[in-house]
Amino acid sequence: MSAVASASILQIGDTEQITLYSMFDTPPESVIVGPLAPLEAPENAEQAEGEENAPQGG
């Protein structure tokens, strides 16, 4: 057997009740690390309303 992992049970014997929970959260694999060409600011960006609250980068 290679592995018993993350809220798992291997049992040789009798049991009454088993409850197993596992939550796993991982980032999407679409994250690309590499050279990116930054886009210039949109036309009339200074006049746009509410843009200063927008998240920067990411």
Partner 1 sequence: MLHKAADYPLRVSEVGGLEIISLASSSIAQLGDRAELKASIRGLAVQREINHEDAGDAFFEAYDIFNRPLPSLPAPSAEDDQVVMRKQNRNQCIRVGCIYIIAVSGAAAVLIGNGMKATAESRIKNIRQFARPIPPATLPSGTGSCPVRQMEP
Residue ranges binding partner 1 (CB under 8 A): 1-27, 31, 56-58
CB of 45 to partner 1, least distance (A): 17
The C-alpha atoms of residue 47 and residue 50 are separated, in whole angstroms, by: 10
Q: What are phi and psi of 24, to 5 degrees?
A: -140, 125
11 vs 44, beta carbon nearer partner 1: 11
CB 47 to partner 1: min, Å? 22
Token pair listed for 46 = 């200074």
Minimum distance from residue 48 beta carbon to partner 1 (Å)? 19
Residue 26 corresponds to which tokens in the numbers above? 């991982």
